Structure 1
Amino acid sequence: MMRSGLAALSALTMGLGIAAGAGTAHAAEVAGWTGMGPQLAPQDNISAAIAHGMAAQDASPSGANEECTPRPGENPVVLIHGMVSTPYGSFAALAPALKAQGKCVYSFTYGRYNSPASGSSAMGFVPGFDGGLAPMDKSLAEVTEHIQRVKEHTGAEKVDIVGWSQGGSLATAYAKQSGGKDVGTVVSLAGVLRGTSMLGLANLHHEFAQLGLPISQAVDLTLGASGNDLLEHSDFMTRLKDGGLEVDGVHYVSIATLFDESANPLGNDQYSSKDYQNIVLQDGCPSDASDHLGVPYDPRSIALTQNALGGNVPVPCTGTVGPFIPGSSI
């Protein structure tokens, strides 16, 4: 999300100190058909992941993008990263946890927006922040291609999808687009499912646009086209909501936080029909202070995601403040 990318950018210098000693020891070979780069070491906070991943093009999180055959009755898991992010920046903690659970895990970079031919934004030229910026229809087409590739190479008929932030939007849009025929479970981590109000800024954006002021162009040039598409009144979100988010045959799980300054209000990142479960991190654990950036690194949300995908692991309750501890936010 918008604030996520800008906040993460401000944290780079802090994260560099932690990431300097990180290595790629014991990294498994990445399958060539994925088109992704080598695995980098796991990280337990987003600052370290961003800093360590900046120097590597299309880095794979540890545990992701290996040759893998799903166990009988299980689906490969596709992780869809957030806006102004990358697979490694978003899932340096979650991917290895799912791999340890025995899952076949895949994650790809989508939505680059740094070419004169297809459009560009200032953020699109910043290493480590250059994913998830393109128009969301284009990103959905890329995600669709990636999922088809995973099915082809693993022999799976269905996939499970986990998406953070914009990734939750795209996971939900993909399941709806496919009619649910090749999706088992969708897990949305602080996903923007009905557009975000951005604490009311979406309404101001809408009013400026109605007055003919070039607010959409300004967002596009600085942040990327997806910055407009994620807002409540966008065409993409209107189409996603039309007729309902959910389709038959898919199990939907939303994991959200009360302290989300990017995907809000709370109801906008929750499901409401068919086979669904909405989880708020603070239910049963009021000390969990994860904000939007902290959710994919929160030990609580990681365990809940594992369980949503068939696991049976204890769900911890931890405090999550500061940028350098597990589950931290910035």
Structure 2
Amino acid sequence: MKFARRIAVATATATLAVSASLATTPAIASAQPATDLPPGEVATDSPATSDNRLSELLSTMGPSPEGTNDLDCVLSPEHPRPVVLVHGTGSGMMQTWPIVAPQLADLGYCVYALNYGGAKAMFDPATTIWGVTDIEQSAVEVRDFVDAVLEHSGSDKVDLVGHSQGGMLSRQYLKFEDGADPVDPARNKVENLVMLGATNHGTSFNGLQQLYGALAILGLTNGKDIVAQALFAGTNLGVAGQQQLIGSRVLAALNNGPETLPGITYTSIATRHDEIVTPPESSFLEPDPGAEVYNKWVQDLCPSSPADHSTMLMLPESLYLLKSALDPAYAGAHEVPCTVPDAPGTP
């Protein structure tokens, strides 16, 4: 599995490099654009205003990956909804979507991506670590970004694609920040939610849960103790990492009652080799009335797939599942591509 190992090592190296400098006091990027309107004048939703709103939000997030945030992109009958990409914990849009975004753009989608949950790095204040602050606040940032994309594009709905925290965060947005209307699903702002390695029911982070539990017994996890803070800052997980542990208050509220909402199609793609979402099956969702739910193992498609939490963003079999979830016609027009571990010529 040389290909998977090489990417996994590169990902781990990048994660360790930023985690060592993560601040314990986050500075959240503003999700409210500035306005030059005179006092008392109300903004309109004209195209110019909508463009300014989206541009203002993007200006706070740094560079965008290839294939995303093209304000000149025009929706097509084949792909009538914008696709919004939501990254995971400790990794922004540039690190998460360099493969996914241009491939979707090449298929004709209008693709948008955001950074959310930013915290300044402790030893380099010019560096921001994304996806590590309070998940409930991050859901507000997702809401504001989706609203700006809808206004800009003229569409009434988007499709969301979320990796890791980005999957469960998208559900947080749907349930608590007006992304969906359970009473009138026609008012939903989302048609499809496609998740890869989502922390829908929490994770032990491959053993970190046990260490955090031991600190709790000692009374060291009240959010102020330096030991608990160092535990999560040192692993590049931040406040959002604590909130994704199995049994957290945020996850309990998210999964209380229906897990899925009517009028939305959910696809949760998981890999049996996930070393971050543990156990991997915690990504899957229970269907509730009015929602379509598809839980898919990458290895059910390609039994020998080496996909793990990071490489599922790069390997053709997991991206095949993603593209087929966004457009069922894609599966009928393309053969299933399976990575052959350690095959001759494999990078």
- What is the aligned counterpart of 2:250 among 213, 225, 236? 236
Q: Mark the CA change 1:148 to 1:320 in structure 2 (over 3 Å): closer, same or farther.
A: farther
Could you list the per-position Cα deviations for residues 292-319 of structure 1 after superposition, in whole angstroms to 9, with x for gaps in the alignment? 1111111111121111111413331113
Asked whether the equivalents of residues 219 and 228 of structure 1 are also in contact (C-alpha less than 8 Å), the reply is: no
Q: How does 1:105-120 map to 2 (within 5 A)?
A: 105-114=111-120
Aligned Cα RMSD in Å? Answer: 2.9
AA at the equivalent of 1:70: L
Q: Distance in 2 between matches of 1:150 and 1:243?
A: 29
Aligned to 1:315: 336
Number of equivalences:
279
2:294 alignment partner, SS class: strand
Q: Mark the CA change 1:235 to 1:6 in structure 2 (over 3 Å): closer, same or farther.
A: farther
1:283 alignment partner, SS class: helix
- What is the aligned counterpart of 1:216 among 219, 228, 234? 228
Q: How does 1:188-203 map to 2 (within 5 A)?
A: 188-203=195-210
Indicate yes or no: 2:14 matched with 1:9.
yes
Q: Distance in 1 between matches of 2:68 and 2:323?
A: 15
Q: Distance in 1 between matches of 2:114 and 2:233?
A: 24
1:232 alignment partner, SS class: coil
Q: Distance in 1 between matches of 2:75 and 2:123?
A: 37
Asked whether the equivalents of residues 290 and 321 of structure 1 are also in contact (C-alpha less than 8 Å), the reply is: no
Asked whether the equivalents of residues 320 and 336 of structure 2 are also in contact (C-alpha less than 8 Å), the reply is: yes
Q: Distance in 2 between matches of 1:124 and 1:162?
A: 30
1:134 alignment partner, SS class: coil
Q: How does 1:28-177 map to 2 (within 5 A)?
A: 33-34=54-55, 35-36=57-58, 58-67=62-71, 68-72=73-77, 74-114=80-120, 122=122, 127=127, 130-177=129-176
Q: Distance in 2 between matches of 1:196 and 1:273?
A: 20
Aligned to 1:288: 305
Could you list the per-position Cα deviations for residues 37-73 of structure 1 after superposition, in whole angstroms to 9, with x for gaps in the alignment? 7xxxxxxxxxxxxxxxxxxx72211111012232237
Identity, in percent, stands at 33
Q: Distance in 2 between matches of 1:201 and 1:144?
A: 30
Q: Distance in 1 between matches of 2:142 and 2:322?
A: 20
Aligned to 2:40: none
Indicate yes or no: 2:191 matched with 1:184.
yes
Unaligned runs of 5+ in 1: 13-30, 38-56, 115-120
Once the 2 structures are TM-superposed, how far is the Cα of residue 126 of structure 1 from its aligned partner? 8.3
Could you list the per-position Cα deviations for residues 192-246 of structure 1 after superposition, in whole angstroms to 9, with x for gaps in the alignment? 1111122343143134213302453224543321121111122111111111321
Q: Mark the CA change 1:321 to 1:74 in structure 2 (over 3 Å): closer, same or farther.
A: farther
Q: Distance in 2 between matches of 1:305 and 1:124?
A: 36
Asked whether the equivalents of residues 86 and 130 of structure 1 are also in contact (C-alpha less than 8 Å), the reply is: yes
TM-score by length of 1: 0.76
Asked whether the equivalents of residues 78 and 105 of structure 1 are also in contact (C-alpha less than 8 Å), the reply is: yes
Could you list the per-position Cα deviations for residues 235-277 of structure 1 after superposition, in whole angstroms to 9, with x for gaps in the alignment? 1111111113211110000111101010121221111213111
Asked whether the equivalents of residues 288 and 317 of structure 1 are also in contact (C-alpha less than 8 Å), the reply is: yes
Aligned to 1:268: 282
Q: Mark the CA change 1:70 to 1:123 in structure 2 (over 3 Å): closer, same or farther.
A: farther
Q: Distance in 1 between matches of 2:228 and 2:123?
A: 15
Q: Distance in 1 between matches of 2:342 and 2:200?
A: 26
Could you list the per-position Cα deviations for residues 61-112 of structure 1 after superposition, in whole angstroms to 9, with x for gaps in the alignment? 1111012232237211000011111112101110111111111100011111
TM-score by length of 2: 0.73
Asked whether the equivalents of residues 267 and 295 of structure 2 are also in contact (C-alpha less than 8 Å), the reply is: yes
Q: Distance in 2 between matches of 1:137 and 1:123?
A: 26
1:62 alignment partner, SS class: coil
1:61 alignment partner, SS class: coil
Once the 2 structures are TM-superposed, how far is the Cα of residue 134 of structure 1 from its aligned partner? 1.0
Q: Mark the CA change 1:276 to 1:179 in structure 2 (over 3 Å): closer, same or farther.
A: same
Aligned to 2:35: none
Q: Mark the CA change 1:298 to 1:8 in structure 2 (over 3 Å): closer, same or farther.
A: farther
AA at the equivalent of 2:340: G
Asked whether the equivalents of residues 97 and 302 of structure 1 are also in contact (C-alpha less than 8 Å), the reply is: no
Once the 2 structures are TM-superposed, how far is the Cα of residue 125 of structure 1 from its aligned partner? 5.3
Once the 2 structures are TM-superposed, how far is the Cα of residue 190 of structure 1 from its aligned partner? 0.6
AA at the equivalent of 1:99: A
Aligned to 2:239: 225
Unaligned runs of 5+ in 2: 1-7, 18-50, 182-187
